[in-house]
Amino acid sequence: MRRAASAIGLHATAIVLALWVVLPIYFITLAAFSTPDAVYDYPKQLLPRDVSTETMRFFLESEAVYGALGRSVMVAAVTLVLSLGIGTPAGYALARFAFRGADTFRLTIVSTRAFPIVILSIPLAVMFLRWGIDDSVFGLALAHTALALPFAVLVTSSVFAGISVELEEAAMTLGCSRAGAFRRVALPLALPGLAAAAIFVFLISWNEVFAASILTLRNPTLPAQVLAVLEQSPLPFRFAGGFFLLAPSLIVIFVIRRYLFNMWGRVIR
Amino acid sequence: MATTVAERPTLSQRVGRWEGLPYGLVLPTLAFLALFFAWPMVQAFELAFREEGTWTLEHVRTMRDDLRFEEALGFTLLLIAVIVPLQFLLALGMALLVNAKLRLRGMFLYLFLIPLAISDLAAGIVWSAIFTETGYLNTILTRLGLIDFPYIWLNPLEKHQLLLAVAAAEIWRSTALITIILIAGLQSIPRDYGEAAEVFGAGFFQRVRHVTLPMLKPSLQVALLLRIILAFEVFATVIAITGASTTVLAAEAWRWQEQNQNANVAAAYAALILVLSLVAAALVVRVLRTSKEQLLR
Amino acid sequence: MADVSFQGVRKSFGKIAAVDDVDLDVTDGEFVVLLGPSGCGKTTLLRCLAGLEKVDTGRVVIGGTDATNLPPRRRRISMVFQSYAVFPHMRVFDNIAFGLRMQKERKTEVKNRVQSSAELLHIEDLLDRYPAQLSGGQRQRVAVARAIATKSDVLLMDEPLSNLDALLRLEMRAELKALLRQLGATTIYVTHDQVEALSMGDRIAVMKAGRIVQVDSPLVVYDDPADTYVGGFIGTPPMNFLDATVEGGRVSVSGGTLPLANGAGDLSGRELLLGIRAEAIMVEDEPSENAIRATVLVLEPLGSHNLLTVRSGKDMLKVATPPHLFRPVDSDVWLRLEPERIRWMDRATGDAIAARADPPVAGALVDPP
């Protein structure tokens, strides 16, 4: 009898917690998909009644949002390519070779997390101005890469560490060079993990607000743009903006949910 | 399923043409971080503590004398003091739940971890939709018959209400990170210990206190470190929910850079944030020190 | 097929010498087993041969070519790993074909060789499956098939049977031995299981702390161990060793005296160890001057024979008896040691002493000073 009661309690708590997470998302979706008038309504509708895409359209068609959206995508894409392009070889080296300085290197990478984005982006703003890449997609991507690179190194390192060394050794005894063994054996097996890491890097860049706001002026990314006009924006704009910022994250997390746990579980060490 | 830091089998470095291969692979990362991380750090300190080629505390003084400084510092520290303990309890609960015999465990895990991908700006907007005068909280309360008139939650004059609103949003958004770290930690604790405790008569809460928590210490330490450092960066949530009614350190740094065009004072704020983060981190490491012997590797 | 030669090979990791000055010659087509406990250097030696470790000093010669500085792919070797290392992202067919494809063989040739290798290992029905769908034993067969498909000169095996359960291991041992005999491949096989070594090898190289202590045929290693280490490692149960001296024409041990065998005359005045295998001790019920007295401590009925643990004086001995011979615990028995099976070791060094007129084949017997 007690077992049943505690099982019910367990599930009840789980449901309450799950609701706590999900309800706010539900509400903002509701608000974003109602008519602009309904946004000002009080009390609000708690169930989807008059679903309308008017608010969303109002947001998308408003000045600069469309451009900001495109820039967010581009910055995230460049960040992804740079972080993984630079970070994967380092991750592989950490996983496969016991070279002198490996521990120091790893420690350095981990300790970059102690430095807030705030203290990184302010001098970057000054530096980029001097170099002429301020207010540019490429400049912001460089800043985001500085943020995401340590993450990429650690995750790729643990992805490769999870692939048995003997597989590459076997390939080498069967006629592959070291590069060949990497290409034919390690890389295909690492691909799912690397893809999940790539997607998460994309997300990190997509969500980033502080550096995006400081390092852009006339060419903002979506979060920077929303932040800039937030205080003067009418409610429908805010809500639609909130939903828009949220939606890709939800989709992405759903897609990579199986790797999420593995990824974070390893990086933390 | 214990994760160990121990030796992993490695490829022999000296097989193959180039012995320096690992260094070559690592070099681009080091170079990039040196240029776009280490160098800016140095620059940040120059911005904050130098003016016209000499070392000075002028910018620090400007920061300190600013009207909003005290409020920013106080609000930041208060926020952290409120948020961190609460969300650790919440995260521990969620982690224990997921680790226990729960049906549809995968679904609950996914749901609990959704906020991992949500930016602080989005979270701020979402909760402003809840707390705003015509928002969902008031709607629910009205429909439940608990209030007659919409309550002004985000009253600029009631700072403690603003604090709670921001805290709610931040806890909602950032607990997932701690949850996932704790789940990883829990999974590496062998079941045998809990079962042995149960055989010897320990109830659930006793098991948690005497077996789970001590073995979870390393994960708790990591989670706490991470969370505190991130907490000092709280920024867009505050702006989204409270506008200019209240402020935190990171928001002030942003304002001095963006609106006042003063990179020096902004850097001073940034340096302050860094110092506070490091002090807090050092405290955490000290308090949650796990001796090697206790780790049973 | 090729012969293999290790010449003065040394390999250290940090301060520890995993392989310490090893010389070994393996002839074309021979099956040599590297045997020893973990940490003795056998796997490291194998990996040096494979090219997966670079030797610090010395040479590795394969088929007359100095392979010391060659990468694995240029060494004409194949290898079966302890964990099998079967590629999880490829089907069985592609796994077996991998080496052939690296050699750029024609498609029909690849197909034929994969087919014949698979048939030799009885896995021709599994060619389309992925390794995740196979049992451990099946994956092991894939690993072996993959290694033999390339028809390389030397076949290396690193404890290929140790991850199998006991029954499967027994079956695979025989199957593998027959297969490799059929192929006539030069094989270097690493194991810590001395039964496996005795069963499969043409010669066994017993290793300890990075060195080869004795390399010889299974029979010689079993019957004429080079020292107490080998005698104690090989055979189930290990060889019995008793402190002994030769005085007044007889052998003196803790439990009594025994007659001296022919040719052992030069041993008087030395501190010796008398080595005797469990099955070379006969149990008698009547005292005699050819036997020493002992008390039965434990009797283990093992089906095919009984294993007695007895105490004779201060020595504990294992004695193997026919399955119908039972003696109660604490009863006295008399042990007669077969003289031709007695082996003499120097008590201080543990090394064997040649005490017969005609020492057997090769080996590493040490002449008395």
- Helix, strand, coil content of chain B in percent (nearest 5): 70, 0, 25
Residues A148, A35 within the same domain: no
Residues C295, C216 within the same domain: no
Which helix (H) or strand (E) element contains residue C16? strand C16-26
Q: Is residue C266 part of a domain?
A: yes
Q: Contacts for B257-264 with beta carbons within 8 Å, 24 or more apart?
A: B257/A122, B257/A125, B257/A214, B258/A213, B258/A214, B263/A122, B263/A123, B263/A125, B263/A126, B263/B47, B264/B47, B264/B48, B264/B51, B264/B59, B264/B62
CB of C160 within 8 Å of a chain A CB? The answer is no
Res C219: pLDDT: 93
Residues A72, A189 within the same domain: yes
Q: Is residue C155 part of a domain?
A: yes
Residues C185, C264 within the same domain: no
Residues A26, A88 within the same domain: no
Residues C276, C215 within the same domain: no
Which residues, other chains included, contact C117 with Cβ-Cβ below 8 Å and sequence gap of 6+? C96, C145, C146, C148, C149
For testing contact with chain B, the best of A122, A124, A163, A246 (most B CBs within 10 A): A122
Radius of gyration, alpha carbons of chain B = 24
- Band (pLDDT 50/70/90 cuts) for residue B6 is very low
Q: Give A 50-89 residues with CB within 8 A of chain B.
A: 86-87, 89
Q: Is residue C174 part of a domain?
A: yes
Point out the domain boundary residue: A62, A84, A109.
A62
Alpha-carbon distance values, B278 to B37, B63, B117, B265 (Å): 17, 20, 26, 20
What is the rounded distance in angstroms from the CA atom of residue B256 to the CA atom of residue B273?
14
Cβ pair C348, C271 in contact under 8 A: yes
List pLDDT tens digits, range C141-195.
Answer: 999 999 999 989 899 999 999 989 999 999 999 999 999 999 988 999 999 999 9
What is the rounded distance in angstroms from the CA atom of residue B293 to the CA atom of residue B296?
6
**Which residue among B184, B204, B236 places its CB closest to the CB of A264?**
B184
Determine the average pLDDT of the residues in C105-118: 93
Residues A45, A147 within the same domain: no
The CATH number covering residue C208 comes to 3.40.50.300
List pLDDT tens digits, range C293-304.
Answer: 999 999 999 999
Radius of gyration, alpha carbons of chain C = 24
Determine the average pLDDT of the residues in C57-80: 92
- Band (pLDDT 50/70/90 cuts) for residue A238 is confident
Q: Quote the percentage of chain A above a pLDDT of 90.
A: 42
């056998």: which residue's tokens? C42
State yes or no: pLDDT of C226 exceeds 70.
Answer: yes
State yes or no: pLDDT of A52 exceeds 60.
Answer: yes
State yes or no: pLDDT of B242 exceeds 70.
Answer: yes
Q: Note the Cα B180 to chain centre separation in Å.
A: 13
State yes or no: pLDDT of B297 exceeds 70.
Answer: no
Residues C180, C130 within the same domain: yes
Residues in A closer than 8 angstroms to B269, CB to CB, are 118
**Which residue among A89, A142, A161 places its CB closest to the CB of B8?**
A161
Q: How far is B64 from chain A (nearest CA, A)?
A: 18
Residues C129, C163 within the same domain: yes
Which residues, other chains included, contact C130 with Cβ-Cβ below 8 Å and sequence gap of 6+? C88, C90, C91, C92
Residues C221, C101 within the same domain: yes
Residues C259, C211 within the same domain: no
Residues A7, A97 within the same domain: no
The CATH number covering residue A193 comes to 1.10.3720.10
Alpha-carbon distance values, C176 to A97, B232, B238, C160, C164 (Å): 35, 65, 71, 10, 13
- Band (pLDDT 50/70/90 cuts) for residue B292 is low
**Interface touch B226/A28, C-beta < 8 Å:** no
Residues A7, A98 within the same domain: no
For helices B263-287 and B213-231, give the axis angle rounded to 10 degrees: 170
Phi-psi region of C104 (alpha: psi -120 to 50; beta: other; left: phi over 0): left
CB of B10 within 8 Å of a chain C CB? The answer is no
Residues C19, C159 within the same domain: yes
Residues C214, C93 within the same domain: yes
Q: Which domain holds residue A35?
A: 1-62
Which residues, other chains included, contact B39 with Cβ-Cβ below 8 Å and sequence gap of 6+? A127
Q: How far is C108 from chain A (nearest CA, A)?
A: 19
For testing contact with chain C, the best of A164, A173, A176 (most C CBs within 10 A): A173
Res A39: pLDDT: 75
Res A268: pLDDT: 46
Q: Is residue C167 part of a domain?
A: yes
Alpha-carbon distance values, A204 to A147, A209, A256 (Å): 9, 10, 14
CB of B276 within 8 Å of a chain A CB? The answer is no
State yes or no: pLDDT of C310 exceeds 60.
Answer: yes
Determine the average pLDDT of the residues in C91-109: 93
Res B17: pLDDT: 59
State yes or no: pLDDT of B77 exceeds 80.
Answer: yes
Residues C92, C162 within the same domain: yes
Res B222: pLDDT: 85
Total structural domains in chain C? Answer: 2
Residues A75, A27 within the same domain: no
Residues C253, C152 within the same domain: no
Q: Is residue C256 part of a domain?
A: yes
What is the rounded distance in angstroms from the CA atom of residue C103 to the CA atom of residue B192?
51
Res B137: pLDDT: 85
Res A265: pLDDT: 55
Total structural domains in chain A? Answer: 2
For testing contact with chain A, the best of B7, B15, B19, B29 (most A CBs within 10 A): B29
What is the rounded distance in angstroms from the CA atom of residue C58 to the CA atom of residue C33?
21
CATH class of segment(s) B41-295: mainly alpha
The ranges assigned to domains in chain B are 41-295
Q: Is residue C359 part of a domain?
A: no
List pLDDT tens digits, range C42-51.
Answer: 999 999 999 9
State yes or no: pLDDT of A157 exceeds 60.
Answer: yes
Residues C121, C169 within the same domain: yes
Q: Quote the percentage of chain C above a pLDDT of 90.
A: 70
Res C367: pLDDT: 40
Which helix (H) or strand (E) element contains residue B199? helix B191-199
Q: What is the ipTM of this complex?
A: 0.87
